[in-house]
């Protein structure tokens, strides 16, 4: 049967299952979901019917109003304004005629759940459209605004794309031999350019597609005969937004990939922010990026965001579920279920097996798992980090010492992840009176990345979520934080004699606004430089940690800047699991995998962790090399 025939068959079955008073106008696949159009949305949306349909067809069912029952948007808008109480303060109303959804953005959402459901029901009854009530994020994010505006401008295209993806997922594959294999394309025995391909006789799925760190900025080995042509790939899954996992995705579209990118909502937004910034940095360095903003838009156009715990078919024989990885906002562990019970493989991506100030610890319980592909950034037996609860105390001590010397405190950070964690800790230290109230300046993309964090409070750890959603205590909104939004402001901070803490990008001192502060402050011993994140081999950050005494800056005007400021490294803020956490992750895992593949670590760390896991737990381990393929079934 082809997809048309499959849909016809489904329609016939649905017709037989639902009461004859409900009119079914059409049925489509949109990616893995089954979309049912009807003139009686209320009756068909009945939970019992939906559950039965979902169970029968093993699909998520979406009920949409037939376009004929939608009243015109202008009229609908008037009705919505009549029904929504004034105290909710409507900010925007967006209609999506292809889905029949209307999104109502409000300033205040503090109505009881019951009252909210009643309001939504009343709106639906009166206008036919399906209403969604969402709060305006407290800090407006330009990235999210652009992404949503772009998606509203391409609704028809997107529908076509989702239908194409749906056809591919639901194609009939017939009888065939069964095997499963994994090809290491990048990020094996190294940190950077993470990329793997999972393949079966009918599916090819890429997991992550990042760029090398340090100066080379190379791609993974994607130009292999078994990967090409890119159009033959069924899906791309991105575990998290960091560029060593996501920077090369736009390039796939430049060379012919037309399929979906699965990731969480925050990953979609943060990845866009980081990719756009990568283009900006490349342009300012005078180097050429391999793609432009057109390709970044293609990624947005083809993205299928998923929430944690939501299971979806992504090819005829692969089912994907994303779970919290505890590393950065939206970071995910990807669980793949292959065939009907044939094989289960889990990719940790970057993960943190400890509760942090921002996130819950990652999870290590799955319904089934045969192979685990695990990161090894801190995999050596020497890689122990201090306890996280000791980190604020150490940070406070270093800041107090620096301030006593009347110096400045410079903290290089990744815009995404460590910045927000350090912000939460600093706000707490000042609120508790442990460090004095000094202005905290945020330079680079930190502000925008923080805005994206405030849009997704449900992705933060339980306490932070409680504080933000129910106690109206959002640490990110503290007046202590000041945004550096112009060169003048930056110069003013650099030249000022008052104490200040500056959080600036990039986190490894390979460019970005942090360099401006470093150049001016490095020669003065009263200043302090505090590293809170991972420093890759070859970066200036790593060299300074190793005792570099002078920074040589190239360009027309060559400059040698002596490093005389205090240099401190705090390991307690890492977004990666340390050696103990990696070992415990395996120890507490349920069920135990048959095999563990180590990646995302320098060679010695992958090998060290592989042999330790084997010796301690008797589980088969492998530290694959890039370009190797391993067969599982
Ligand atoms: Zn990462």
Listed in sequence order, the residues at least 6 apart from 244 whose beta carbon sits closer than 8 Å to its beta carbon are: 187, 191, 192, 193, 194, 210, 211, 212, 213
Say which residues have a Cβ less than 8 Å from residue 4's Cβ, sequence separation at least 6. none
552 Cα–ligand 1 center, Å:
29
pLDDT band at residue 557 using 50, 70 and 90 as cut-offs:
low
Bridge-based pairing of strands 332-338 and 311-315 is: unpaired
Cα-based distances in Å from 141 to 105, 145, 307: 14, 6, 20
Cα-to-centroid distance, 83 and ligand 1 (Å) = 45
The Å distance, Cα 350 to ligand 1 centre, comes to 5
Ligand 1: centre distance to CA 567 (Å): 24
Give the C-alpha separation, 79 to 123, whole Å. 8
Tell me how far the alpha carbon of residue 117 lies from the centroid of ligand 1, in angstroms: 38
**Cα(382) to centroid of ligand 1, in Å?**
21
Question: Is the pLDDT confidence value at 506 over 90?
Answer: no
- Is residue 213 classed exposed, middle or buried when 0-12, 13-18 and 19+ CB atoms within 10 A define those classes? buried
Looking at residue 451, what is its pLDDT? 94
d(Cα 319, Cα 527) in Å, to the nearest integer?
Answer: 52
CA of 447 to the centre of ligand 1 (A): 19
CA of 99 to the centre of ligand 1 (A): 35
For residue 591, cis peptide bond before it (omega within 30 degrees of 0): yes
Q: What is the percent of the chain where pLDDT is above 90? A: 74
pLDDT score for 247:
96
241 Cα–ligand 1 center, Å: 7
Cα 259 to ligand 1 centroid, rounded to whole Å: 24
Instruction: Report the sign of the C-alpha dihedral through residues 545, 548, 551, 552, in that order.
Output: negative
User: Is the pLDDT score of 175 beyond 90?
Assistant: no
Mean pLDDT along residues 511-526: 93
pLDDT band at 627 (very low <50, low <70, confident <90, very high): very high
pLDDT in tens, 560-617: 899 999 999 998 888 999 999 999 999 999 999 999 999 999 999 999 999 999 999 9
- Pair type for strands 90-96 and 61-65: unpaired
Give the distance (Å) from ligand 1 centre to CA of residue 194: 10
Tens of pLDDT along 47-66? 788 899 999 988 899 999 99
CATH number of 388-573: 3.40.50.10890
Instruction: Give residue 556's pLDDT.
Output: 64
Query: 456: CA distance to ligand 1 center in Å?
Result: 18
**Res 20: pLDDT:** 87
427 Cα: distance to centroid of ligand 1 (angstroms): 24
Q: How far is the CA of 364 from the centre of ligand 1 (A)?
A: 18
Rounded to the nearest angstrom, the distance between the alpha carbon of 149 and the centre of ligand 1 is 28
- At 173, the pLDDT band (50, 70, 90 cuts) reads confident
| 623 Rama class: left (phi>0) / alpha (psi -120 to 50) / beta | beta
Report CA(221)–ligand 1 centroid distance (Å). Answer: 20
Tokens 């990953």 sit at which residue? 267
Report how far ligand 1's centroid is from the alpha carbon of 600 (Å).
10
By C-alpha distance, which of 332, 333, 267, 277 is closest to 300? Answer: 267
What 3-state DSSP class applies to 340?
A: coil
Domain range summary for the chain, segments of one domain joined by +: 3-66, 70-136, 173-382+576-631, 388-573
As a whole number of Å, the end-to-end CA separation of the chain is: 28
CA distance 317 to 324: 24
For the record, the structure tokens of 614 come out as: 């084997």
Residues near ligand 1 ion, CB 5 Å cutoff = 242, 350
Give the distance (Å) from ligand 1 centre to CA of residue 38: 44
Res 596: pLDDT? 98
Residue 349 CA, ligand 1 centroid: distance in Å: 8
CA of 242 to the centre of ligand 1 (A): 5
In angstroms, what is the span from residue 272 Cα to ligand 1's centroid? 15
How far is the centre of ligand 1, averaged over its atoms, from the C-alpha of 208 (Å)? 11
- Render 452-507 in DSSP notation, one character per residue: HHHH-GGGS-HHHHHHHHHS---GGG-TTEEE--SHHHHHHHHH--S--EEEES-T
- The rounded distance, in Å, linking the Cα atoms of 584 and 387 is 15
Q: How far, in Å, is the centroid of ligand 1 from the Cα of 420?
A: 14
What's the CA-to-centroid distance between 604 and ligand 1, angstroms? 20
173-382+576-631 topology per CATH: Metallo-beta-lactamase; Chain A (3.60.15)
* Centre of ligand 1 from the C-alpha of residue 48, in Å: 42
Which pLDDT does position 81 carry in this prediction? 93
Residue 537 alpha carbon to ligand 1 centre in Å = 16
**Strand 343-347 and strand 371-375: pairing?**
parallel
We find that the CATH architecture of domain 3-66 is 2-Layer Sandwich (3.30)
Q: What is the mean pLDDT of the chain?
A: 92
Whether 378 contacts 387, CB under 8 Å: no
Cα 576 to middle of ligand 1, angstroms: 8
**For residue 246, how far is its CA from the centre of ligand 1 (angstroms)?**
10
Q: What is the 214 CA–ligand 1 centroid distance (Å)?
A: 15
Contact residues for 37 (Cβ-Cβ < 8 A; gap 6+): 24, 25, 26, 27, 28, 64, 65, 66
Structural contact between residues 524 and 564, judged by C-beta atoms closer than 8 angstroms = yes
Per residue in 440-490, pLDDT (tens digit) is 999 989 999 999 999 999 999 999 999 888 888 899 999 999 999 999 999
Q: Distance, CA 546 to ligand 1 centroid (Å)?
A: 23
E-strand ranges in 229-342 read 235-237, 261-263, 303-305, 311-315, 318-324, 332-338
Say if residue 214's pLDDT is above 80: no
CA angle 197, 201, 202 (to 5 degrees): 85
Q: Is the peptide bond before 175 cis (omega within 30 degrees of 0)?
A: no
**Which of 238, 480, 164, 206 shows the shortest CA–CA distance to 318?**
206
Residue 554 confidence (pLDDT)? 67
Tell me if 100 sits within 8 A of 69, measured CB to CB: no
> How many angstroms separate the CA atoms of 423 and 461, rounded?
15
Angle (CA) 619-371-571 rounded to 5° is 75
Q: What is the C-alpha to C-alpha distance for residues 577 and 547, in angstroms, rounded to an integer?
A: 26
Token pair, residue 13, equals: 């079955």
Q: Which two tokens stand for residue 84?
A: 């929504």
Q: In this structure, what token pair is assigned to residue 420?
A: 């927000």
Task: Report H helices in 184-290.
Answer: 243-246, 249-254, 265-284
Ligand 1 midpoint to CA 239 (Å)? 9
Res 204 pLDDT > 90? yes
Q: 388-573: same fold as 70-136? A: no
Residue with tokens 């999972």: 198
Architecture of domain 70-136: 2-Layer Sandwich (3.30)
Distance 418 CA to ligand 1 centre (A): 11
Contact status, residue 4 vs residue 26, Cβ threshold 8 Å: no
Distance CA 546, CA 385 (A): 18
Contact 533, 507 (CB under 8 A): yes
Q: pLDDT band at residue 260, thresholds of 50, 70 and 90?
A: very high
Q: How far is the CA of 267 from the centre of ligand 1 (A)?
A: 11
Count of all residues that appear for the chain in the document: 633
What's the CA gap between 64 and 99, in Å, rounded?
A: 6
Q: Residue 155, CB half-sphere, CA atoms under 13 Å: how many?
A: 12
**250 vs 302, 392, 453, 487, 583, CA distance in Å?**
11, 38, 23, 30, 35
Q: How many CB atoms lie within 10 A of CB 203?
A: 22
How many whole angstroms from 330 Cα to the centroid of ligand 1? 11
Torsion of CA 541, 543, 546, 548, to 10 degrees: -110
Residue 222 CA to residue 19 CA, distance in Å, equals 52
Whether the pLDDT of residue 255 is over 80: the answer is yes
Residue with the two structure tokens 């048309």: 4
How far away, in angstroms, is 327 Cα from ligand 1 center?
A: 7
Res. 104: pLDDT tops 70: yes
d(CA 362, CA 327): 8
CA distance 493 to 191: 35
The CA 240 to ligand 1 mean position distance, Å, reads 7
| Farthest CA pair distance, the chain | 82
CA–centroid distance, 416 to ligand 1, in Å, is 9
Kind and range of the H or E element at 73?
helix 73-83
Beta bridge partners of 207: 196, 237
Query: What pLDDT shows up at residue 536?
Result: 82
Q: Does pLDDT of 555 surpass 80?
A: no
Q: How remote is the CA of residue 192 from the centroid of ligand 1, in Å?
A: 9
Dist. CA 353 → ligand 1 center (Å): 14
Q: How crowded is residue 611: how many other Cβ atoms within 10 Å of its Cβ?
A: 14
* C-alpha 112: how far from chain center: 30
pLDDT score, position 620? 97
Region 233-256: mean pLDDT is 97
Cα radius of gyration rounded to whole Å, the chain:
26
Distance 245 CA to ligand 1 centre (A): 7
CA–CA dist 260, 262 (Å, integer): 6
């Amino acid at each position: 049967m082809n997809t048309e025939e499959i849909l016809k068959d489904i329609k016939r079955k649905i017709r037989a299952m639902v009461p004859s008073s409900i009119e079914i106008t059409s049925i489509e696949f949109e990616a893995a979901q089954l979309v049912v159009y009807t003139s009686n949305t209320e009756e068909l949306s009945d939970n019992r019917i939906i559950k039965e349909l979902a169970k029968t067809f093993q699909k998520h069912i979406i009920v949409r109003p037939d376009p004929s029952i939608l009243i015109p948007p202008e009229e609908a808008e008037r009705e919505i304004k009549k029904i929504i109480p004034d105290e909710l303060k409507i900010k925007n109303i967006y209609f999506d005629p292809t889905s029949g959804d209307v999104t109502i953005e409000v300033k205040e959402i503090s109505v009881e759940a019951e009252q909210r459901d009643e309001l939504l029901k009343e709106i639906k009854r009166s206008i036919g459209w399906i209403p969604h009530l969402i709060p305006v994020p407290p800090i407006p994010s330009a990235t999210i605004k652009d992404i949503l505006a772009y998606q509203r401008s391409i609704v028809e295209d997107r529908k076509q794309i989702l239908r194409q993806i749906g056809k591919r997922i639901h194609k009939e594959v017939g009888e065939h031999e069964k095997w499963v294999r994994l090809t290491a394309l990048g990020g094996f025995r190294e940190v950077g350019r993470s990329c793997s391909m999972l393949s079966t006789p009918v599916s090819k799925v890429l997991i992550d597609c990042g760029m090398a760190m340090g100066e080379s900025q190379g791609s993974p080995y994607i130009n292999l005969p078994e990967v090409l042509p890119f159009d033959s790939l069924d899906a791309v899954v991105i575990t998290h937004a960091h560029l060593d996992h996501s920077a090369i995705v736009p390039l796939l579209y430049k060379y012919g990939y037309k399929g979906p990118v699965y990731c969480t909502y925050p990953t979609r937004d943060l990845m866009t922010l980081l990719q756009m910034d990568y283009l900006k940095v490349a342009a300012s360095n005078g180097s050429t990026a391999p793609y432009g903003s057109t390709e970044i838009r293609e990624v947005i156009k083809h993205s299928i965001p998923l929430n944690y715990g939501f299971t979806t078919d992504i090819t005829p024989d692969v089912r994907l579920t994303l779970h919290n990885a505890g590393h950065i906002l939206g970071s995910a562990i990807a669980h793949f279920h292959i065939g009907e019970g044939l094989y289960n493989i889990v990719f940790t991506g970057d993960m943190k097996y400890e509760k942090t100030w921002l996130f819950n610890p990652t999870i290590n319980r799955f319904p089934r798992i045969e192979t685990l592909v695990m990161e090894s950034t801190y995999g050596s037996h020497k890689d122990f980090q201090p306890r996280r609860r000791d980190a604020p105390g150490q940070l406070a001590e270093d800041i107090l010492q620096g301030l006593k010397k009347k110096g400045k405190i410079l903290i290089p950070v990744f815009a995404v992840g460590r910045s927000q964690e350090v912000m939460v800790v600093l706000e707490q230290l000042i609120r508790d009176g442990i460090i004095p109230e000094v202005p905290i300046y945020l330079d680079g993309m930190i502000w925008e990345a923080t805005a994206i964090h405030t849009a997704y409070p449900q992705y933060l750890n339980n306490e932070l979520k409680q504080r933000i959603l129910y106690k109206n205590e959002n640490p990110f909104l503290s007046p202590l934080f000041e945004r550096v939004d112009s060169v003048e402001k930056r110069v003013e901070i650099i030249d000022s004699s008052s104490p200040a803490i500056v959080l600036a990008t990039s986190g490894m001192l390979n460019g970005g606004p942090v360099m401006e502060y470093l150049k001016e402050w490095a020669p003065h011993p009263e200043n302090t430089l505090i590293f809170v994140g991972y420093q890759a081999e070859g970066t200036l950050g790593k060299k300074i940690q190793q005792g570099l005494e002078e920074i040589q800056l190239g360009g027309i005007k060559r400059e040698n800047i002596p490093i005389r400021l205090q240099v401190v490294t705090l390991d307690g803020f890492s977004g990666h699991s340390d050696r103990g956490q990696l070992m415990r992750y395996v120890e507490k895992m349920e069920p135990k995998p048959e095999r563990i593949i180590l990646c995302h670590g320098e060679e010695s760390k992958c090998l060290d962790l592989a042999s330790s896991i084997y010796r301690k737990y008797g589980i088969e381990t492998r530290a694959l090399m890039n370009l190797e393929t391993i067969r599982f079934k």
